[in-house]
Amino acid sequence: MSSEKANILVIDDEAEIRESLQVLLTAEGYAVDEAEAGDPGLQRLREKSYDIVLLDVMMPGKNGLEVLKEIRTMDHNLAVVMITAFGSVENAVAAIKAGANDFITKPWDNEKLLIDIENAVRQRQLFIENLQLKRAFKERYNFPNIVGKSERMLKIFDLVSQVAPSRSTILVQGESGTGKELIAKAIHSISPRAERPFVPVNTGSLPADLLESNLFGHERGAFTSAIAAKKGLFEVADTGTIFFDEIGLVGLETQAKLLRVIQEREFMHLGGIDTIKVDVRIIAATNEDLKGLVTQGKFREDLYYRLNVISIQLPPLRERKEDIPLLVEHFIEKYCQDNAKAPVQFTSEALKVLMDYHWPGNVRELENAVERAVVLSTSDSVDVPLLPESIFESSIPGTRMLRSVALKENATLFEILDSVERHVILETLEKTGWSQTNAAEKLGVPLSTLNQKIKRLAIEIKRKKEN
């Protein structure tokens, strides 16, 4: 390991403890600084950037929990692992509630400590990487609400940047919840029309007569309820952009009138006789197969080709899962600000559940899950139980069986997590014929970590089945 791998600060009043950690961590390639009390430790944090802090709970002057609270005012995402000789549940709960990432007791197991530190450092570095990527995307593309680092999204960002200056009609295709309107707004925002109106039209929510009235406007007396003349959305969008959401739901009669506007850049009010000319850029979106609708006679072929001058195909979230951590950070920032809450951080277990889920509702479903977790969180750490049941149950086998345990009256968070963890480990061991090596590999954890969990959860190991 390189000494540049991570910077660690040890805050402990016992010189022997600091020396022991210094020797252990330096041998593993970490850069380690020491502080003998809370105030000197806080001063070091003001002077230098660290990836993780190992913080003693019981110290003279400011105790560890007081120091932790001050650390959180300085950096909400710095990894902090609490160390104490008093390994009570009360101390653990107090530390976690105050914002600690983990909790270990003296004397510690070196192997476990190194694993915990490696996990904490990885999470910290992921946060920093995501932050840097977000800044880079904002500088390069200036699309503040579109987040992604996957190859497919980078190509879409480049395409958006390339087509935005033109006036060509664009068709955005993708499943529901993939962000089609966000792409349309991004195109408009960096186009020469950016200072002009952006007018969205939800074509699927209106009956044909009302849709046409909204689009083209009407004269007084054009129909029973037309008591006054009204401008249409095409006039409102003049010199700007009009965005048709779910264009595949528009009826054939209205399709013919849309085709004329695209071709001639003119239309008439309902009940009117005067031709109205407009300069409007058209962007349409659909989650349906328009070519298939053409074949079925439900969509005009000539309109399809007029709309499909430039096509942008948005991938579903399940095909760009590497974007999930970045999206989570983006939505955390958004909803913490909206709800006037201090920033929170998803645990590695919660992130794994999100990465494993198949996301039928795409980015919109992920956004809803993060908003829910932010609103329900009572500390700056978001763990698996705060995720929606549909996500939790899909990602963890046997969750329905555990619900009664998790919702048991007076059950603590630790009891809930232990119940879930115990069940998953038992189920995996059974599936692997009680091979701890195979189970550890299947669960994606080191064998030593699995053995520690088996011992802590008092799981009785059966003899490996013979073939």
- In this structure, the answer to whether residues 310 and 338 fall within a common structural domain is no
Among residues 134, 161, 196, which one ends one of the domains?
Answer: 134
The closest alpha carbon to 392, from 356, 418, 353, 355, belongs to 353
Extract the tokens encoding 44.
């070091």
Extract the tokens encoding 369.
């899950």
- Model confidence band, residue 394 (pLDDT cutoffs 50, 70, 90): low
Extract the tokens encoding 313.
């195909």
- Taking only the tens place, the pLDDT of each residue in 88-107 is 556 667 777 777 877 787 78
How many independent structural domains does the chain possess? 3
Q: Does residue 46 lie within any of the structural domains?
A: yes
Encoded amino acid at 453, one letter: K
- Taking only the tens place, the pLDDT of each residue in 410-462 is 667 777 777 778 888 888 888 788 888 888 888 888 888 898 888 888 888 76
For the cut 60, the answer to whether the pLDDT of residue 368 exceeds it is: yes
Among residues 74, 106, 134, which one ends one of the domains?
Answer: 134
Question: What are the strands, taking DSSP E only, across 367-408?
Answer: 381-382
- In this structure, the answer to whether residues 157 and 128 fall within a common structural domain is no
Task: Please state, as a whole number, how many other Cβ atoms lie within 10 Å of the Cβ of residue 404.
Answer: 9
Mean pLDDT of 329-333: 91
- In this structure, the answer to whether residues 286 and 307 fall within a common structural domain is yes
CA R_g for the chain = 29
What is the distance between the alpha carbons of residues 413 and 70, in angstroms, rounded to a whole number?
25
- In this structure, the answer to whether residues 218 and 341 fall within a common structural domain is no
DSSP letter string over 175-197? -TTS-HHHHHHHHHHTSTTTTS-
Question: What are the strands, taking DSSP E only, across 205-337?
Answer: 241-245, 266-268, 275-277, 281-286, 310-313
DSSP letter string over 63-78? -HHHHHHHHHHH-TT-
Contact call for residues 8 and 30 (beta carbons, < 8 A): yes
- In this structure, the answer to whether residues 331 and 289 fall within a common structural domain is no
Q: Which CATH number does the domain housing residue 280 bear?
A: 3.40.50.300
For the question of whether the overall pTM of this predicted structure is more than 0.85, the answer is no
The closest alpha carbon to 258, from 306, 312, 292, belongs to 306
- Taking only the tens place, the pLDDT of each residue in 210-266 is 888 888 887 776 666 667 778 889 999 999 999 999 999 998 988 998 999 998 888
For the cut 90, the answer to whether the pLDDT of residue 285 exceeds it is: yes
- In this structure, the answer to whether residues 162 and 106 fall within a common structural domain is no
Q: Does residue 163 lie within any of the structural domains?
A: yes
DSSP letter string over 326-373? HHHHHHHHHHHHHTT----EE-HHHHHHHHHS--TTHHHHHHHHHHHH
Q: Which CATH number does the domain housing residue 95 bear?
A: 3.40.50.2300
Mean pLDDT of 345-374: 91
Identify the pLDDT of residue 463: 57
- In this structure, the answer to whether residues 181 and 256 fall within a common structural domain is yes
- Taking only the tens place, the pLDDT of each residue in 399-416 is 544 454 444 556 677 777
Residues spanned by the domain of 307:
151-314
What is the distance between the alpha carbons of residues 250 and 260, in angstroms, rounded to a whole number?
15
- In this structure, the answer to whether residues 287 and 328 fall within a common structural domain is no
As a whole-number percent, the residues of the chain with pLDDT over 90 amount to 33
Contact call for residues 8 and 31 (beta carbons, < 8 A): yes
